[in-house]
Structure 1
Amino acid sequence: MSYPTPRHNGAIDGMRALAVIAVIVFHANGSLLPGGFTGVDLFFVVSGFVISQSLASRPSDRLSSYLLDFYRRRVLRLLPALLLVLMATFVLSALFMPRAWRNEQFDQTGLGALVGAGNIVLAWQDGDYFSPGADLNPFLHTWTLGVEEQFYLLFPLVFFAWLRGRHRYAMARWLLPVLALASLALAAYQTTASPTQAFYLLPARLWELAAGALLYQQLATRDAAAHWQRWAMPGLALVLVGFAFAPELPFPFPGAAGTVVGTLMLLVAAASTPEDRPHALLRLLRWAPLAYIGRLSYSLYLWHWPVLVLLRWTYGMQGMALWAYPVLLLALASASYHWVECPIRHARAGHRGHPGKVLAVALAAVVASGASAWGIIQYSEHLSLSTTRDGYMWRAQRHPAWMPVESIDAPSLSGRSLFVAGDSHAAAYRTMVTMAARQFDLQLRMDERGGCGIANLLRASSAECIAYRDQVLAKIEREARPGDIVLLASLRMQELRGLDWSAGDAVVFRQLREARTLADATAAEADAEAVLSRLQALGVHVVMDAPMPVFKSAAYRCSDPFNRMNPACAGGLGVSRAEMEALRAPQMALLDKLAARYPALHVWDPLPLLCQATTCTAMDGEQPLFFDQDHLSGHGNRVLLPDFDRLLLEIGEAPR
Structure 2
Amino acid sequence: MRSRDAALDGIRAIAALGVWLLHVGSNTGVMYREGMLPWMMSRLGIAVPIFFLLSGLLLYRPWARAVIEDTARPRPARYLWRRIMRVMPVYWLVTGLALWAWSSFDWTGWLKWMLLAQNFFPADPTPDGLYQMWTLPIEMSFYLLLPIMAWLLHRFARGGNRPVRLLIGISVLPVICVATVAVTRLYGLPQLALLLPYHLIYFACGMAMAVLSVWIGHSRVIDSLAPQLLVLAGLLYALLSTGLAGPRTLTLPTLSQSLWRITLEAAVAVLVVAPFALASRPDSARNRVLGNPVSAYLGRISYSFFLWHAPVITLQLKLTGAQPFQGDFVSVAVVSFIVTLLLSIGSYHLIEVSALKLSGHRSAPAPRRPAPAPQPAAPAP
- Normalised to the residue count of structure 2, the TM-score between the two structures is 0.74
* Aligned counterparts of 2:61 and 2:72: Cα–Cα separation in 1: 19
Amino acid across the alignment from 2:139: E
Residue matched to 1:93: 102
Contact 1:44 1:209 in 2 (8 A): yes
Q: CA deviation at 1:57?
A: 6.6
Residue matched to 2:48: 40
The 5 Å alignment of 1:250-269 reads: 250=253, 252-269=258-275
* Distance of aligned partners of 1:109 and 1:222 in 2 relative to their CA distance in 1, 3 Å threshold: farther
* Aligned counterparts of 1:236 and 1:282: Cα–Cα separation in 2: 17
Contact 1:162 1:173 in 2 (8 A): no
* Distance of aligned partners of 1:73 and 1:199 in 2 relative to their CA distance in 1, 3 Å threshold: same
Q: CA deviation at 1:165?
A: 5.4
In the alignment, is residue 152 of structure 1 matched against residue 182 of structure 2?
no
2:309 aligned to which of 300, 304, 309:
304
In the alignment, is residue 284 of structure 1 matched against residue 292 of structure 2?
no
Q: CA deviation at 1:82?
A: 0.9
Would you tell me which structure has more helix in proportion to its own residues? 2
Contact 2:46 2:269 in 1 (8 A): no
* Distance of aligned partners of 1:107 and 1:28 in 2 relative to their CA distance in 1, 3 Å threshold: farther
Residue matched to 2:366: none
Residue matched to 1:233: 230
Contact 1:16 1:297 in 2 (8 A): yes
Superposed CA offset, 1:339-398 (max 9, x none): 110122123x7469xxxxxxxxxxxxxxxxxxxxxxxxxxxxxxxxxxxxxxxxxxxxxx
Task: Name the SS for the 2:138 alignment partner.
Answer: helix
Amino acid across the alignment from 2:343: L
* Distance of aligned partners of 1:226 and 1:175 in 2 relative to their CA distance in 1, 3 Å threshold: closer
* Aligned counterparts of 1:113 and 1:253: Cα–Cα separation in 2: 30
* Aligned counterparts of 1:342 and 1:10: Cα–Cα separation in 2: 17
* Distance of aligned partners of 1:235 and 1:257 in 2 relative to their CA distance in 1, 3 Å threshold: same
In the alignment, is residue 333 of structure 1 matched against residue 344 of structure 2?
yes
* Distance of aligned partners of 1:196 and 1:314 in 2 relative to their CA distance in 1, 3 Å threshold: farther
* Distance of aligned partners of 1:282 and 1:188 in 2 relative to their CA distance in 1, 3 Å threshold: farther
Residue matched to 1:113: 113
Q: CA deviation at 1:160?
A: 3.1
Superposed CA offset, 1:57-91 (max 9, x none): 7899998x711011111012111111111112122
* Aligned counterparts of 1:109 and 1:191: Cα–Cα separation in 2: 28
Residue matched to 2:367: none
* Aligned counterparts of 1:88 and 1:239: Cα–Cα separation in 2: 39
Contact 2:308 2:344 in 1 (8 A): yes
* Aligned counterparts of 2:281 and 2:72: Cα–Cα separation in 1: 35
The higher relative CO (CA closer than 8 Å, separation ≥ 6) is in 2
Superposed CA offset, 1:254-281 (max 9, x none): 2132221122123221123353542x23
In the alignment, is residue 8 of structure 1 matched against residue 19 of structure 2?
no
Amino acid across the alignment from 1:218: L
Task: Name the SS for the 1:256 alignment partner.
Answer: helix
The 5 Å alignment of 1:197-212 reads: 197-212=191-206
Contact 1:183 1:206 in 2 (8 A): yes
* Distance of aligned partners of 1:90 and 1:181 in 2 relative to their CA distance in 1, 3 Å threshold: same
The 5 Å alignment of 1:370-409 reads: none
Task: Name the SS for the 1:141 alignment partner.
Answer: helix
* Distance of aligned partners of 1:239 and 1:212 in 2 relative to their CA distance in 1, 3 Å threshold: farther
2:300 aligned to which of 285, 295, 299:
295
Q: CA deviation at 1:159?
A: 1.5
* Aligned counterparts of 2:86 and 2:191: Cα–Cα separation in 1: 28
* Distance of aligned partners of 1:322 and 1:174 in 2 relative to their CA distance in 1, 3 Å threshold: closer
* Aligned counterparts of 1:323 and 1:234: Cα–Cα separation in 2: 29
The 5 Å alignment of 1:328-367 reads: 328-347=339-358, 350=360
Amino acid across the alignment from 1:66: R
In the alignment, is residue 138 of structure 1 matched against residue 129 of structure 2?
yes
1:17 aligned to which of 13, 20, 27:
13
In the alignment, is residue 74 of structure 1 matched against residue 83 of structure 2?
yes
Contact 1:35 1:246 in 2 (8 A): no
Contact 2:222 2:274 in 1 (8 A): yes
Residue matched to 1:275: 281
Task: Name the SS for the 1:8 alignment partner.
Answer: coil
* Aligned counterparts of 2:245 and 2:217: Cα–Cα separation in 1: 38
Amino acid across the alignment from 1:39: A
* Aligned counterparts of 2:4 and 2:242: Cα–Cα separation in 1: 32
* Distance of aligned partners of 1:87 and 1:112 in 2 relative to their CA distance in 1, 3 Å threshold: same
Contact 2:218 2:280 in 1 (8 A): no
Q: CA deviation at 1:228?
A: 0.2
CA RMSD of aligned residues (A): 3.3
* Distance of aligned partners of 1:286 and 1:217 in 2 relative to their CA distance in 1, 3 Å threshold: same
- Normalised to the residue count of structure 1, the TM-score between the two structures is 0.45
* Distance of aligned partners of 1:176 and 1:315 in 2 relative to their CA distance in 1, 3 Å threshold: same
Contact 1:22 1:243 in 2 (8 A): no
Q: What runs of 5+ residues in structure 2 fail to find an aligned partner?
A: 32-37, 247-252, 363-381
The 5 Å alignment of 1:530-569 reads: none
The 5 Å alignment of 1:182-197 reads: 182-194=176-188, 196-197=190-191
* Distance of aligned partners of 1:62 and 1:42 in 2 relative to their CA distance in 1, 3 Å threshold: closer
Contact 1:22 1:36 in 2 (8 A): yes
Amino acid across the alignment from 1:300: F
Residue matched to 2:369: none
Contact 2:240 2:264 in 1 (8 A): no
* Aligned counterparts of 1:183 and 1:338: Cα–Cα separation in 2: 37
* Distance of aligned partners of 1:273 and 1:189 in 2 relative to their CA distance in 1, 3 Å threshold: same
Amino acid across the alignment from 2:238: V
Contact 2:167 2:211 in 1 (8 A): no
Contact 2:85 2:356 in 1 (8 A): yes
* Distance of aligned partners of 1:301 and 1:275 in 2 relative to their CA distance in 1, 3 Å threshold: same
Higher Cα Rg, which structure? 1
Q: What runs of 5+ residues in structure 1 fail to find an aligned partner?
A: 95-102, 127-133, 353-656
Superposed CA offset, 1:210-254 (max 9, x none): 221122113322243222032442354157537865764346532
Task: Name the SS for the 2:260 alignment partner.
Answer: coil
* Aligned counterparts of 2:280 and 2:94: Cα–Cα separation in 1: 38
* Aligned counterparts of 1:80 and 1:153: Cα–Cα separation in 2: 17
1:179 aligned to which of 169, 173, 177:
173
